[in-house]
Amino acid sequence: MSSSESQDPAAASEVQLSKKAAKKEAAKADKLRRRQEIAAASAATANLSVDEDDPLAANYGDVPLVELQSKTPANVDDWTPVEALGVALENKTVLIRGTAQTIRPVGKKMAFLVIRDDYFTVQCLVQAQPDTVSPQMVKFAASLNRESIVDVEGVVTIPTAPIKGATQQVEIQVRKLHCISRAMPTLPINLDDAARSEIEIEKAIQAGEQLVRVNQDTRLNFRVLDLRTPANQGIFSVQSHVSNAFRQFLLSEGFREIHTPKLIAGSSEGGASVFRLDYKGQPACLAQSPQLHKQMCICARFGRVFEIGPVFRAEDSYTHRHLCEFTGLDLEMEIKKHYFEVMDVVDRLFVAMFDSLNQHCKKDLEAIGSQYPFEPLKYLRNTLRLTYEEGIQMLKDVGVEIEPFGDLNTEAERKLGQLVLEKYGTEFYMLHRYPLAVRPFYTMPCYDNPAYSNSFDVFIRGEEIISGAQRVHVPELLEQRAAACGIDVKTISTYIDAFRYGAPLHGGFGVGLERVVMLFCGLNNIRKTSLFPRDPLRIAP
């Protein structure tokens, strides 16, 4: 996320929730939690688990805690993943563990369960049979609460008709059923509702029907449940793949992974968006980026470094793309002559990353697209590069006026992204040679015009994801630039001193992990790609 980006009127208009509404939502959540506790106590009193008079009672029931406390070692190979259940296992006895997604009683002697494990589901039939399955076991199955964790042992069969409600086209004839963790009887979010797409809801409205829409704040209040939906499982699998692809590519290019401190003495980016705190009687800040320390590592002659870690911005931004804490993917490297050397790495890195996502995350992307439909990202084999002035001219040509030495606001970014797509057929491009006035203090000015800088931003689908540049490596110029940007030079004296011992030419960039995933997957809000989002109104769960 660009440190130079400020909240503009267009972004401010995207405020989604007032403090009053947030308090109201929290009160509703607390009321629901108390209702759940009462329901759970009632269920425990009812003791629906096992009929002690049943001779087959050992085949079902809630597993006692003592049996769950790592009492005896088990062979994990005894369990079969739901994903592996197929026709090859016909007539085989299998043991699976999963979540009871659907419970459907059919009279007193039959019940269907759909068990979920990751993206995969299988239908299980609990049917009363002499010497195998008792009516009491069917009753137990029917008494299970949705989202409870169960162990199922049974025989794999192939039904005569396709199974519409499960991914696996086999059925398990249940012989044993044990619950290892009961969910509450009434959940705050119905997962079927949470997994429903807006398209499905709109179609229902047009047909005169009404479907439940789970709003974003309810999802975030009960994030553990919300994360169980297929789309969210996909989103965070993609996120994991992005960070792993970032790491593996850079390691292959001779970069070294580092871990910089998040408690620092002074602001690392300048401006007011910094969390200040007391550090044993001394003023301190949460790092706005690893910028200062990754540059110090270059001064230590590490050559090429990268980091994946938390970044903190105390911005009062309520937009769809800002967070107070996000995961930064940062890189710094020595350069020989030109900041294009950094841009070359960006080009190779992100094209390789996008290729890898499209190749290895097909199932995840399909799960995301089922709930949040999106078009695959359009990108070129050699990433398009435009100067800032060229971008401004493209906007001027269609009547959009931009300050010559100002920054692009959200609306201008989106319009330029649209123009680039129409002209060049790509949604991923670089804009470089930005005005110096809108860049951080450590950015190197252009040699031919000090009003511009050796810097660049990178965009996906009309939104900025990367801010990078050649850095100032001359300590006297660093001091001048820091003072001009309102930074107390004394608070970063050890950083500036690092350049007094001999410092190579270098440059780098920073990118927000959550923003990359959001834009690659065509999502409309960064809170969908942040595991537990932190924004000006949210610090829980």
Q: Which two tokens stand for residue 446?
A: 């252009």
Stretch (H or E) spanning 311: strand 304-312
Q: Which listed residue (147, 171, 269, 315) is catalytic?
A: 315
Strands of 325-334's sheet in order across? 256-257, 304-312, 325-334, 506-512, 463-470, 455-460, 428-432, 384-387
Cβ contact 123:63 at 8 Å:
no
How far apart are the C-alpha atoms of 518 and 531, rounded to whole Å?
A: 12
Q: Which two tokens stand for residue 148?
A: 């409870």
Say whether 315 is catalytic: yes
Q: How far from chain centre, in Å, is Cα 355?
A: 19
Write out the two tokens for 317.
């931004």
Which one of the listed residues 182, 293, 322, 538 is annotated catalytic?
322
Instruction: Examine the residue annotation and report whether 321 is marked as an active-site residue of this protein.
Output: yes
Alpha-carbon distance of 343 to 355, in angstroms, equals 18
- Selecting among 467, 506, 530, 538, the annotated active-site residue is 467
- Is position 313 annotated as part of the catalytic site? yes
Listed in sequence order, the residues at least 6 apart from 361 whose beta carbon sits closer than 8 Å to its beta carbon are: 234, 237, 238, 241
Q: Tell me the residue ranges of DSSP E strands in 313-354.
A: 325-334
Give start and end residues of each alpha helix (H) in 253-312.
291-299
- For residue 467, indicate whether it is catalytic: yes
Residue 44: CB partners within 8 Å, gap ≥ 6? none
DSSP characters over 381-417: SS-EEEEHHHHHHHHHHTT----TTS---HHHHHHHH
d(CA 139, CA 143): 6
Catalytic residue check, 473: no
Choosing from 147, 332, 427, 464, the catalytic residue is 464
515: annotated active-site residue: yes
Q: Is 334 an active-site residue?
A: no
Of 473, 515, 527, 538, which is the active-site residue? Answer: 515
Of 146, 223, 313, 527, the active-site residue reads 313
Of 116, 146, 304, 321, the catalytic one is 321
Number of CB atoms found within 10 A of residue 480's CB: 14
Residues carrying an active site annotation: 313, 315, 321-322, 464, 467, 515
